[in-house]
A and B are shown apart, each in its own frame.
Chain A
Amino acid sequence: MGKKKSIVLMVLLTIVIVILCAITVIPTFPIGVKDWNPVVMQNDFGADVNGGYYAYYYPKGIISETDYKNLDADKQEEYSSHKGLYFKNDTSLGVCVKNSDGTYSISEQFKEEFEATKNLIVSRYEKKGYSDFSVAVVDDYALKVQLPKSATLDVPGMDYQTTAFNTIGLFAEIGELELKQADKVIEERNDYEVNELIKKFSVITRYDYAWIKVEFTEVGKTMIKEFRESASTDTLNLYLGDIENPLMQISATEHVTTRNTVEYALRPVADIAYVETMVILLNSSLNVDASKYVAFEDIQQSDVCEYEAVHGENTLILLYVALAVITVGLIAFSIVKMGGFGVASAYSSVSYLIVVAMFYAFVSKGVFEFTLGSALAYVLGLVLMNVLNVHVYNAIKAEFALGKTVESSVKGGYRKTIWNMVDVYAVLLLGSITLLIGAAGLATFAWQAIICVVMGAFCNLLWTRVINVMLLSASKNKYKYFRFVREDDDDE
Chain B
Amino acid sequence: MSKFLAKTVKKTALLSLILAVILAAAVALGIVGGLQGWGVFNKDAVLKDGNTVTVYMNTDTQVSKLDEVQAACESVFKACGEKPSHSFNGIKGMNGELLYVFDGDVDLKDVETALEAKFKDLVANDWAGDVVFITVATNTEKSATFLAEYYVLRGIIAGLALAALVFVYTVLRNGLEKGVAVGVATAGGVLLTTALLILTRIPVTASVAYVIGAAGLLSAALATMSINKIRTAEKSESAQGVDAAELVSSSLATKDIVLLGALGGAAIILMGAIATAGVRWFAIASLVALIVSVFMGLIYTPSLYIPLKKAVDNRPEKDAYVGAKKTSKKEKKAAEPAMKVEETPVEEAPAEEVVEEAPVEEAPAEEVAEEAPVEEAPAEEVVEEAPVEEAPAEEVVEEAPVEEAPAEEVVEETPVEETANDAE
Would you give the shortest CB distance from B154 to chain A, in whole angstroms?
5
CB neighbours (8 Å) of A140 from chain B are 140
A377 touching B214 in the complex, CB below 8 Å, given contacts A126-B145, A131-B206, A307-B89:
yes
Q: Does B286 contact A (CB under 8 A)?
A: yes
B151 x A311 contact (CB < 8 A): no
Verify A379–B264 contact, CB threshold 8 A.
yes
Is A460's CB within 8 Å of the partner chain B?
A: no
Give CA–CA (A118, B417) in the complex, Å: 78
A302 touches B93 (CB 8 A): yes
* B residues near A372, Cβ cutoff 8 Å: 207, 210, 279, 282
Known: A311-B277, A442-B158. A143 touches B144 (CB 8 A): yes
Size class of the A contact interface (CB-based, 8 Å): 35 or more
Asked if B323 lies at the interface with its beta carbon under 8 angstroms from chain A, I say no
Q: Is B137's CB within 8 Å of the partner chain A?
A: yes
Asked whether B141 is an interface residue with its Cβ less than 8 Å from the other chain, the reply is yes
- Given A310-B86, A373-B207, A427-B224, A135 and B144 touching (CB < 8 A)? yes
- Is the C-beta of B238 less than 8 angstroms from some C-beta in chain A? no
**A371–B213 CA distance with the chains assembled, in angstroms:** 14
Partner of A65, one of B139, B142, B148, B158: B139
> Given known contacts A125-B145, A307-B89, A431-B220, is B266 in contact with A138 (CB within 8 Å)?
no
What A residues does B209 contact at CB under 8 A? Answer: 373, 438, 441-442, 445
Interfacial chain A residues near B89, Cβ < 8 Å: 307-308, 313
Q: Chain A residues with Cβ under 8 A from B267's Cβ?
A: 326, 329-330, 379, 382-383
Q: Is the CB of B144 within 8 A of A428?
A: no
Question: Interface stretch among B160-168, B337-345, B369-377, B403-411?
Answer: B160-168
Contact string against A for B residues 252-293, beta-carbon threshold 8 Å, 1 for contact and 0 otherwise: 000110011001101110110111111100100010000000
Closest chain B residue to A48, Cβ basis:
B278
Q: Are A442 and B155 in contact (CB-based, < 8 A)?
A: yes
Interface presence of A314 (CB below 8 A) = yes
Chain B residues whose C-beta falls within 8 Å of the C-beta of A431 in the assembled complex: 162, 165-166, 186, 216-217, 220
Quick check: is B184 within 8 A (CB to CB) of the other chain? no
A54 part of interface (Cβ distance < 8 Å) = yes
Give the distance in Å from the alpha carbon of A8 to the alpha carbon of B81 in the complex: 68
Instruction: Compute how far the CA of A67 lies from the CA of B346 in the bound complex, rounded to whole angstroms.
Output: 103
The smallest C-beta distance from B288 to any residue of chain A, in angstroms, reads: 12
A466 at the interface (CB under 8 A from B): no
Q: Which of A181-189, A249-257, A418-426 lies at the interface with chain B?
A: A418-426
**Which of B164, B205, B224, B268 is within 8 Å of A48, CB to CB?**
B205
A interface: dominant SS: helix
Chain B residues lying within 8 Å of A122, measured Cβ to Cβ, are 144-145
Minimum C-beta distance from A488 to chain B (A): 28
- Asked if A303 contacts B139 (CB within 8 A), the reply is no
Q: Is B41 engaged at the interface, CB distance under 8 Å to the other chain?
A: no
Question: Which of B97, B140, B210, B278 is the one whose CB lies under 8 Å from A442?
Answer: B210
Scoring A residues 424 to 451 as 1 if CB is less than 8 Å from chain B, else 0, what string do you get?
1011101111111111111001100100
Contact A135 B145 (CB under 8 A): yes
Interface centre among A122, A319, A428, A431 (most CB of B within 10 A): A431
* A34 CB within 8 Å of chain B: no
The listed residue (A66, A314, A383, A434) touching B158 by CB distance below 8 A is A434
Give complex CA distance A275, B87 in Å: 33
Q: Which residues on the B side are within 8 Å of A305 (C-beta)?
A: 88, 90-92, 97
Task: Please tell me if B46 contacts chain A, counting CB pairs below 8 Å.
Answer: yes
A69 touches B (CB below 8 Å):
yes
**Cβ-based interface call for A98 (8 A):** no
Residues in B neighbouring A426, C-beta threshold 8 A: 169
Find out whether the CB atom of A66 lies under 8 angstroms from the CB atom of B47.
Answer: no
Are B256 and A391 neighbours in the complex by a CB distance under 8 Å? Answer: yes
Q: Are B216 and A54 in contact (CB under 8 A)?
A: no
- Per the 8 Å Cβ criterion, residues 434-492 of A in contact with B are 434-442, 445-446, 449
Contact code string B168-200 (vs A, CB < 8 Å = 1, else 0) = 011001000000001000100000000000000
Q: Does A376 contact B (CB under 8 A)?
A: yes
Q: Given the interface contacts A307-B88, A376-B210, A442-B158, does A326 sit within 8 Å of B271 by beta carbon?
A: yes
A126 to B145, CA, bound (A): 9
Q: Which single member of A143, A314, A315, A323 contacts B271 (CB below 8 Å)?
A: A323
Q: Which residues of B contact A206 (CB under 8 A)?
A: none
Give the contacting residue for B278; candidates A54, A311, A430; CB below 8 A: A311
Q: Are B47 and A134 in contact (CB under 8 A)?
A: yes
Considering the chains assembled together, what is the distance between the CA atoms of A302 and B58 in angstroms? Answer: 12
* Residue contact A137 to B141, C-beta cutoff 8 Å: yes
**Contact status A427-B88, CB under 8 Å:** no
- Given the complex, which residues of A lie within 8 Å of B150, measured CB to CB? 126, 439
Judged by a CB distance under 8 angstroms, whether A241 is at the interface is: no
- A54-88 interface (Cβ within 8 A of B): 54, 64-66, 69-70, 83-85
Q: CB distance B279 to A319 under 8 Å?
A: yes
In chain A between 73 and 110, which residues have their CB closer than 8 angstroms to a CB of chain B? 83-85
For the complex, what is the distance from the CA of A482 to the CA of B270, rounded to whole Å?
30
A306 / chain B contacts, CB cutoff of 8 Å = 90-92
Pairs A–B under 8 Å by Cβ, sample size 27: A84-B140, A127-B148, A132-B206, A137-B142, A302-B92, A305-B88, A306-B90, A307-B91, A312-B276, A318-B274, A322-B273, A322-B274, A326-B271, A372-B210, A382-B267, A383-B263, A383-B267, A387-B263, A423-B224, A423-B228, A427-B169, A427-B170, A435-B162, A438-B158, A438-B209, A442-B151, A442-B155
Besides the known contacts A48-B278, A438-B209, A439-B154, 20 further A-B residue pairs in the complex with CB atoms under 8 A apart: A46-B207, A54-B88, A70-B135, A118-B144, A138-B139, A304-B92, A305-B90, A310-B87, A311-B279, A319-B274, A322-B271, A323-B271, A372-B207, A372-B282, A384-B221, A430-B165, A437-B157, A442-B151, A445-B209, A445-B210
5 closest A-B pairs by CB: A302-B93, A373-B210, A126-B148, A311-B278, A65-B137
